[in-house]
Amino acid sequence: MSTAEHYRSNLRDTLFNLFEFLEIQATTLGRGPFTALDEGATRESLRSLEELARTRLAPSFAEADRVPLALDREGNVTLPPALKRSLSAFFESGFHRLEQPEHLGGYGAPPTVWAAGFEFIAGAHASLGFYLFGGIAARVIDRLGTEAQRRLFPPLMIDRPWGATMVLTEPDAGSDVGAGTTSAKKVGDEWHLAGVKRFITNGDFDAVENIVHLVLARPEGAPGGTKGLSLFIVPKFWVNPDGTLGERNGVYCTNLEKKMGIKASATCEMAFGDGRPARGLLLGEAHDGIRQMFHVIEQARMGVGLKSMATLSTAYRNALAYANERVQGPDLLRAADKASPRVPIVRHPDVRRMLMAQKAHAEGMRALCLFTAHVQDRVELEGGHGADAARADDLLNDLLLPLVKGYCSEKAYELLALSLQCYGGSGYCQDYPIEQYVRDQKIDSLYEGTTHIQSLDLIFRKIARDGGATLRGLLGRVQATLDAQEGGDELAGERAALGRALGEVRGMFMALMGKLGESLYHAGFQGNRVLLALAELVVGWLLVRHAARAIERRAARPEDRAFYDGKVASARYFCKNVLPGLALARELVEASDLDLMELPVEAFLGAWPGPERPARASAGAGFCVS
């Protein structure tokens, strides 16, 4: 198989999630802001987008990884030709309008449909997906901007189309955004920014005529920390009131990071105000930068979770194809007979174990992502974020996002090792796409908030802010599935395992609350474990519900029997092999101690190797060759 043909989607499971499980044709489509799409149009759109991803986006996957980006002396970044061809094909298809509201010339697709479509894009070419940020930024400006900003920027960003970035990180601040020093000075009706930002995804590229940077900076006289930050619109080329482009603005890419993966994504160091003013507009005329930027960050975190899930899914399906084709060794039961025929490796128990681990987790992550997107559907249907009727769903969405981002990014990297293992030594070679999958995916646990940032956000913000009421509501949904005996006798064992896991997670949170009364350090030691455990409970719950729905439907659709049996098998594997691990996780939380915090730093090495201690580094630095 050529790496140009690497992408193997799971369109069937996507359609199962949307139309057989979540039933968006009854709950979402044709209602509120989503009246433009019905079930037939949505199915056809997703099939077309999947085909586009497979035939026009995936072919540039390997070439864009191996042909380097180029940065000239004027701060312009040139993309590999194959990547530009794929981007042109995407924009020409019009699918960048899929999730845009109708008043911006879009198709008005709900979050569930956007999430399903983004899986295809990210699975086919992860780096390419990052260059589509202009649509997200346009919606943020449309929601938060002044009347003049809304009238000027979003239509141009979508129609032309333009690129966009989110600009937070600074070299000495890293994830500590509040330590940023980039400044903003009021000059007439605009602002001039000065400073250096690092790890800016696609800070410059030559596939669009303009790039709109959303930049966090501190106005002169503003207090320190995150509360003093404001959000500014800073275009690469100044945009005149009539929509024409003016002069080159004072924002430049000054360096390209050399990375282990997603090499086709231009990760830039950006200089603002070096040599000429970096002109900007205060977004919405409100000094509320962090809250405004979180409209962008939450979309980015959702996208990262989808990217990880998409990578694991295509990796699994590639490994499955290889296991069916690769003939090696006899059946284990006949190994003593030297004359036994060689069999495809899919017949070997260890390979089947690895394949089912990937299958169950990939389907579980897809279920988690699309369930979360469906909660976002309801938020929009009930009036948007912050509306009174949407408050409960708002809180549930906020609770689920750290699971989507943190769990999918961590677990996918672990399971991609199994994907590679299925190939044996061939998987380590560039003849197959898996080695690039591993490199491209690892960044997901590092950026948009590391996994531990997600876990602290879950514990101290998403759970604590309403006294655990949203968490209790989510756990109550799991209990309701048990009480309703979904799946009948066929899933009795799976429900029993789910019930035990629910008890372990409840006990884990009780233990954690007690530990936090002793020291907040316990959140540092146990936060990731708690996030992963809660995510596995939710994934297990969704897989059991999927299996129950599959049991209902397979009698009516015998032609799909294999697919539905596979859904039951995924739930069965997860309940037997993953959920029992939550008992150990609870025990480890209960036994948490502070010994490591009392250990002298020098004990980790015995002594520092030189007179100076290691320099402070940003979280993403480990992903770079430097």
Token output for 614: 């290691």
With beta carbons less than 8 A apart as the criterion, state whether 291 and 306 touch.
no
Backbone angles phi, psi at 217, to 5 degrees: -150, 165
Angle, alpha carbons 194-195-197 (nearest 5°): 135
Q: How far apart are CA 475 and CA 480, in angstroms?
A: 9
**Residue 448 known to be catalytic:** yes
Q: How far apart are CA 376 and CA 135, in angstroms?
A: 17
Question: Which residue do the tokens 């992502």 mark?
Answer: 369
DSSP 624: B
Query: Which of 186, 41, 24 minimizes the C-alpha distance to 112?
Result: 24
Collapsed DSSP state (helix, strand, coil) of residue 325:
helix
CA-to-CA separations, 83 to 117, 452, 615, 623, in angstroms, rounded:
19, 33, 36, 22
Q: How far apart are CA 284 and CA 298, in angstroms?
A: 19
With beta carbons less than 8 A apart as the criterion, state whether 288 and 230 touch.
yes
Range 27-45 burial, b when 16+ CB lie within 10 A, else e: ebbeeebbeebeeeebbeb
Q: How far apart are CA 377 and CA 212, in angstroms?
A: 27
Among candidate residues 257, 269, 448, 486, the one labeled active-site is 448
Token output for 228: 């003093």
Q: How far apart are CA 570 and CA 561, in angstroms?
A: 14
With beta carbons less than 8 A apart as the criterion, state whether 250 and 273 touch.
yes
Q: How far apart are CA 122 and CA 307, in angstroms?
A: 5
Query: Which positions are annotated as active-site residues?
Result: 448
